[in-house]
């Protein structure tokens, strides 16, 4: 007979877990016959010993089977979604979902809220007056069918085992395990019922994965899981050493997203967004369609129209003024020359300290707090020129934020640094 202690001991000693044992584990955990302490011990054993491909496939399937699975067959369009591993200034979803919908696909984007220095898509959208992120499954399907895209919170019925496991990983220092990250992300994405998925795996100082090797391993693991579960999956590795775009926060990123949909987005943000859009449309079978040109959908206003329709369908007012911070402060260039670096992690932590992020899931976030990057690496600056504009609701937040920005940027008189594409490489099925 299977029992939790035997499974913990087996994984601790480097043995593989049988499919039936993994299925039993999740069923028993759902019945509260396996204690959180025992599951925590097993997660730590997995952190050190890993899961092989077959174990991970069964582990992920058991997480999916712990709850409901959305049926998107009634939508009437090819479905495709995108997931980002999180970064600083990463407002891509706000632009990408309506953009891909404007090209003929249906985009069921079930997103989350931010924790730590990386902002959450739902936090950004909830800075729009009236916007509702908490939709029922029926409401989600209705918005998806009528507009072509929806960005909302994953319902409690999708992969509920993941919520319990993530809470344990968060307090037991087992978050960084690649198999556990991959199963957490992919169980929710597979359960949402999409036919295809593009992953944006961030690499760099402001990313969860700071090394290219680890990021690529995570991308390959998630692509394999998606394909094994019948979801056409691709990944792009993209840079996160510098904030993406110029705005970091919540309302300020909504503002920048609308500018991008109007055709005025920063170059790095648009390069990543268009690269992901092309991948999504290819997987949805729409790349050769005349209507499936994402750049054209921005130029002719279709993407912006879909965004506005989505905001309205979710209770928001796309014309309402966005929240504005009561206080601002600028950080100036110490010398003249070329800006050669702007550390994404330090900027993200500073924005968090200004109120744009949360330390715990139950914390509130400020809609108006954030940072505007008035200069980006590669640009010429003059001594005393404002580089960053900090925004906060309470002036006492500036001190801790400025401390986080110590050493965040570098100015050189040696000429501009070489321009690097924000898109590093593509990962497809093995």
> Would you state the pLDDT for residue 115?
61
Active site residue 32: no
Where exactly are the structural domains of the chain?
Answer: 4-50, 80-320, 327-412
Q: At residue 373, what are phi and psi to the nearest 5 degrees?
A: -85, 100
> Would you state the pLDDT for residue 155?
79
Q: In 3-state terms, what secondary structure has residue 130? A: coil
> Would you state the pLDDT for residue 289?
67
> Would you state the pLDDT for residue 300?
95
Describe the strand order of the beta sheet including 370-373 as a list of residue ranges. Answer: 247-249, 370-373, 386-392, 327-332
Strands 337-342, 409-412: pairing kind? antiparallel
Active site residue 169: yes
Active site residue 162: yes
CATH code for the structural domain at 80-320: 3.40.1030.10
Helices and strands, number each (H, E), in the chain: 16, 13
Active site residue 164: no
> Would you state the pLDDT for residue 17?
96
Catalytic residue among 82, 91, 117, 169: 169
CATH topology match: 4-50 vs 80-320: no
CA distance 263 to 173: 43
Catalytic residue among 162, 200, 293, 343: 162
b/e sequence 415-425, b meaning 16+ C-beta within 10 Å: eeeeeeebbbe
| pTM recorded for the entire structure | 0.94
Neighbours of 176 (CB within 10 A): 12
Are the beta carbons of 200 and 234 closer than 8 angstroms? no
C-alpha dihedral, 23 to 17 to 188 to 224, nearest 10°: -130
Catalytic residue among 84, 93, 127, 184: 184
270 is written with which tokens?
Answer: 């648009």
Are the beta carbons of 425 and 279 closer than 8 angstroms? no
Catalytic residue among 11, 82, 83, 117: 83
Active site residue 229: no
| 17: Cβ contacts below 8 Å, ≥ 6 apart | 7, 10, 11, 25, 51, 55
Q: With a cut of 70, which residues of the chain have pLDDT below it?
A: 1, 114-117, 289-290, 361-362
> Would you state the pLDDT for residue 290?
66
Are the beta carbons of 294 and 100 closer than 8 angstroms? yes
Class of domain 327-412: alpha beta
> Would you state the pLDDT for residue 116?
62
CATH code for the structural domain at 4-50: 1.20.970.10
């Amino acid at each position: 007979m299977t029992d939790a202690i035997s499974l913990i001991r087996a994984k601790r000693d480097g043995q593989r877990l049988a499919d039936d044992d993994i299925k039993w584990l999740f069923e028993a955990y759902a019945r509260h016959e396996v204690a959180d302490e025992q599951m925590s011990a097993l997660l730590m054993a997995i952190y050190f010993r890993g899961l092989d491909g077959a174990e991970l496939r069964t582990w992920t399937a058991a997480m999916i089977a712990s709850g409901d699975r959305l049926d998107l067959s009634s939508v009437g369009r090819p479905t495709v979604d995108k997931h980002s591993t999180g970064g600083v200034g990463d407002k891509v979803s706000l632009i990408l979902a309506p953009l891909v919908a404007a090209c003929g696909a249906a985009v069921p984007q079930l997103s989350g809220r931010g924790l730590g220095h990386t902002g959450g898509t739902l936090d950004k959208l909830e800075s729009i007056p009236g916007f509702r992120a908490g939709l029922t499954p029926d409401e989600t399907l209705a918005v998806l069918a009528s507009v072509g895209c929806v960005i909302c919170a994953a319902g409690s019925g999708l992969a509920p085992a993941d919520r319990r496991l993530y809470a344990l990983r968060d307090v037991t220092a087992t978050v960084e395990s690649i198999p556990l990250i991959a199963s957490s992300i992919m169980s929710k994405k597979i359960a949402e019922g999409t036919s295809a998925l593009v992953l944006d795996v961030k690499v760099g100082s402001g990313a969860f994965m700071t090394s290219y090797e680890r990021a690529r391993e995570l991308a390959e693991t998630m692509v394999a899981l998606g394909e094994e579960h019948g979801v056409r999956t691709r990944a792009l590795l993209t840079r996160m050493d510098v904030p993406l775009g110029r705005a970091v926060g919540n309302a300020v990123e909504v503002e920048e997203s609308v500018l991008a949909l109007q055709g005025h987005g920063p170059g790095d943000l648009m390069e990543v967004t268009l690269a992901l859009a092309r991948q999504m449309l290819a997987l949805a079978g729409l790349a050769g369609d005349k209507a499936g040109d994402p750049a054209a959908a921005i130029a002719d206003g279709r993407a912006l129209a879909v965004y506005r329709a989505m905001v309205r369908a979710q209770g928001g007012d796309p014309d309402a003024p966005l929240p504005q911070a009561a206080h601002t402060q600028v950080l100036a260039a110490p010398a003249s020359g070329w800006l050669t670096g702007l550390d994404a992690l330090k900027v993200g932590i500073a924005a968090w300290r200004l109120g744009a992020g949360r330390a715990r899931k139950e914390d509130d976030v400020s809609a108006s707090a954030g940072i505007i990057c008035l200069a980006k690496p590669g640009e010429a600056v003059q001594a005393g020129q404002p580089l960053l504009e900090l925004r906060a609701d309470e002036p006492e937040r500036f001190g801790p934020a400025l401390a986080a920005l110590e050493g965040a940027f570098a100015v050189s008189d040696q000429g501009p640094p070489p321009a690097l594409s924000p898109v590093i490489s593509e990962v497809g099925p093995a």
